[in-house]
Amino acid sequence: MLSITGQYLARYRELTTGAGAPALLPVTGAQRRFALVRALDPTGRPDLVPMFFAFPRGTVDPPRLAAAARRLASLHPVLRSRPTVVRGTPVLRMAEPEVPLIRVPRASGEGADTALRRALGAWAPDGPPIRLFLTGDTTDGDRDRVPSPCGDEPSEVLAVVLDHAACDGRTLARIVEELGAAYAEGQQAHMPAPSEVAAELTAYHEAVLLQLGVEERAEAPEALAYWGERLRAVRDRAPAARPGLPAAGEPPSGSASVSLPTSAAGVPFSDLLNACRPAVRALYGPGHTVPLGYPWGGRPPGAEGVLGCFLNTVVFPAVAGAAPSGTGATADAWWEDLDRADVPFDAVVRAAREAGSGWSGRLDGLLTVDDVAQRPSLRLAGVEGRETHIDGRPVRGPFAVSVTHGRELHLRMVWDRAVTADRTALDAFDALTEALRARTPTAPAVS
């Protein structure tokens, strides 16, 4: 019997072989997962990855930025493709390069954060995978004070937003770098030569096929049996969304954050996983095994560093406990997981279900870790934007934890207010920080 990836490759080759076959690009296992999530969403919305940059007001030249963005999309196949399903097979269909630059008006008294949340909430499911949003102008002369490199001076905020199926961490850094470089060339930035476009298309196609080869080999019977046993006890734990929540006018998600002292090496990832145990206990009660996902992976050996998403989502069965278990036991189990981390998510879900878990594949929590040294910084004509957060945006899962490692550890948690009450979420956040043996100097603010 062919593996899930083997079946996918066979269907893809059947679609694209022969005279008159459509020009379609294959997708990675990670992109297949995003296609499934999108298909299950009532509105068909993809997962969005926004980056927000505050600039002194008047810095951004919209025509010049639009020209730079179009050059970027012209070169990279994943930025000018649309996800589609042909005869039951998820693929990418090439389209003309297009990057909308949308000016977001603000009503009287409305801040940039509210305006951008509203704009992202209106994201049309059909359309280009990268879009730009700019706000800062007001309708009545009021001057919003968004944190900026210029201190108290008026600012504008530029949002660079991508469909997650088109990006991972390496993608974000490269997009920001190339967007800034094209902007520096001015409105007459040259479009990529046909030979450059063709070379990038070939590299993308080959990189995805290499990745699918890695995934197909990873779906060995031993690895599938491992994941079936590892996730046998996993069930969906998060309650259903509560109708009517959050209240009208209230952001759909809450958040809390704190900065913690850390060593130069940071906190081992297994310790972060272990610290999630008391947090999931506070959220879902004791005695449960909760599916917690985290991104892992990278480009396969020999692949070009093309833009796209090559990060698999690995599932950690977080057993809800009042205190972390021995870190050694968690680390040993995690290293065992990493030996089989290339098995694509959909194959892992099937293995767990065949082992009797009854798990739907829904993740009840997410954990991501970023190195601050790798975080992109957008520079437009010599002016560096200050990356900022906009809280209150919708979250796909019940809760998510992000950790940014630099001189200190910045711990952040967001949660869906329609699923989890603020007080419960804050108790979970406190349990998480306590498990990391750090003190929170002040109570985290709900936003």
Residues 227-238: what's their mean pLDDT? 92
Q: What is the pLDDT of residue 324?
A: 65
Tokens 């992976």: give the residue.
297
Q: What is the mean pLDDT of the chain?
A: 88
Neighbouring C-beta atoms of residue 164, cutoff 10 Å: 22
Q: What is the pLDDT of residue 402?
A: 93
When comparing pLDDT for 237 and 98, which is higher?
98
Which segments of 48-192 are extended strands (E)?
48-56, 81-86, 89-94, 101-103, 130-135, 155-163
Model pLDDT for residues 393-406, shown as the tens digit of each residue: 988 889 999 998 87
Q: What is the pLDDT of residue 278?
A: 93
Question: Which of 260-264, 267-271, 337-341, 435-439 has maximum average pLDDT?
Answer: 337-341
CATH class of 218-435: alpha beta
| Fold match between domain 4-209 and domain 218-435 | yes
Q: What is the pLDDT of residue 22?
A: 82
Provide the 3-class DSSP secondary structure of residue 86: strand
> Domain-by-domain residue ranges, the chain?
4-209, 218-435
DSSP line for 16-82: H-STT---EE---HHHHHHHHHHHHSTT-PPPEEEEEEEEETT---HHHHHHHHHHHHHH-GGGGEE
Q: Is the pLDDT of residue 140 over 60?
A: no
- The answer to whether the CB of 444 falls within 8 A of the CB of 429 is yes
When comparing pLDDT for 395 and 129, which is higher?
129
Q: What is the pLDDT of residue 436?
A: 86
**Partners of 131 in beta bridges:** 161
Q: What is the pLDDT of residue 136?
A: 84
Model pLDDT for residues 151-173, shown as the tens digit of each residue: 556 789 999 999 999 999 888 99
Running DSSP on this structure, what letter comes out for residue 250?
Answer: S
Q: What is the pLDDT of residue 422?
A: 94
Chain Cα centroid distance, residue 75: 22
User: What does the block give as tokens for 330?
Assistant: 């968690």
- In angstroms, the Cα distances linking 289 to 230, 317, 365, 401 are 11, 6, 12, 18
CATH class of 4-209: alpha beta
Q: Is the pLDDT of residue 221 over 90?
A: yes
81: left (phi over 0), alpha (psi -120 to 50) or beta: beta
- In angstroms, the Cα distances linking 146 to 208, 254, 255, 374 are 40, 20, 19, 24
Q: What is the pLDDT of residue 374?
A: 73
Q: What's the CA gap between 108 and 3, in Å, rounded?
A: 56
Q: What is the pLDDT of residue 200?
A: 96
Model pLDDT for residues 338-396, shown as the tens digit of each residue: 999 999 999 999 999 999 998 999 999 999 998 777 777 899 989 999 999 898 998 88
Model pLDDT for residues 279-306, shown as the tens digit of each residue: 999 999 998 899 999 999 989 999 999 9
Model pLDDT for residues 45-72, shown as the tens digit of each residue: 899 999 999 999 999 999 999 999 999 9
The helix or strand, by DSSP H or E, that contains position 318, with its residue range, turns out to be: strand 311-319
When comparing pLDDT for 92 and 43, which is higher?
92
Q: What is the pLDDT of residue 389?
A: 87
Q: Is the pLDDT of residue 193 over 90?
A: yes
Q: What percent of the chain has pLDDT over 70?
A: 91
Sheet holding 289-297, edge to edge: 253-260, 409-416, 399-405, 365-371, 289-297, 311-319
Provide the 3-class DSSP secondary structure of residue 13: helix
Residue 381 CB contacts under 8 Å (≥ 6 apart), including other chains: 59, 61, 183, 184
Burial call 190-225: b when 16+ CB within 10 Å, e when fewer: eebeeeebeebbebbeebbbbbbebbbebbeeebbe
